[in-house]
Amino acid sequence: MAERSKKAIRREQIVRGLMRVLAKRGYAGAPISAVAREAGLTPGLLHYYFKGKQQILLELIEAIQATALERFEERLARASNDPWKRLFAFTDALLEAGGSQDADDAAACWVAIAAEAVHEPAVRRRYRSSLEELATLLRPLLTDVLAAEGRSSEDLTSAVAAITALIQGVHHVDAMAPELAPAGSSARVARHMIVGIVQAQSQVGSHDLPNDAGRRREHR
């Protein structure tokens, strides 16, 4: 068990080392030697615990995802059975930023990871399965909300995709141009948007939206 523990500790050390360097300097600016230095280890040792640099990145993706999902679990446990609260437990958990250095680092890393995913098949696979996992968790939460609001679930897929995209976009803007969005407002803004999506759901798909949107008001 001490053996197993040592290995796990080392791997975690290394993954955290990559996270910190990646957040500050990007993937190309994160040579193994810098990651090793950040982790307090030597370059050679990284290859003892990981087959290659990419393996560390893959594990980082999992780690970031796992951390976000842990936050979700915690919030979910404290949430009542109210479907809205459960849904927001999810979005708040994923959009929590500025709270900790780790959360900020994770957001910055996520952008770098996405860039790698564009052209590295292995990274792309892992990255996609992260997105799919989020979608899988999100789907029942959203279904419950729609049910509670008396809406149909016909365009559920699009709504899930939209929320997923929104989450990515918020990470993006938080990492790159935090001054665009008032500090800490991300989660709150996202809640508004999601409320909007759910409200819009009922009209979606059957109308030419702009005209309809304008007319809807007139009927008031």
30 to 69, contacts with DNA by CB under 7 A? 30-34, 41-48, 51-54
For residue 34, the minimal CB distance to its own copies (Å) is 12
CA contacts within 13 A on the Cβ side of 63 = 24
Tokens, residue 9: 């500790």
Tokens, residue 155: 């365009």
Q: Residues binding DNA: what is the number (CB under 7 A)?
A: 23
Fill in the DSSP letter of residue 71. H
CB closer to DNA out of 124 and 191: 124
For residue 175, the minimal CB distance to its own copies (Å) is 6
**CA distance linking residue 155 with residue 201, whole number of Å:** 7
CB 50 within 8 A of CB 68: no
Determine the 3-state secondary structure of 97 from DSSP: coil
CB closer to its own copies out of 12 and 48: 48
Q: What's CA 214's distance to the chain center, in Å?
A: 34
Site string for its own copies, 161-190 (x = CB under 8 A): xx-xxxxxxx-xx-xxx--xxx--xx-xxx
Rg of the chain in Å (alpha carbons): 20
CB closer to DNA out of 41 and 135: 41
CB closer to its own copies out of 10 and 124: 124
Summarize as ranges the residues that interact with DNA (CB under 7 A).
Answer: 3, 6-7, 10, 28-34, 41-48, 51-54
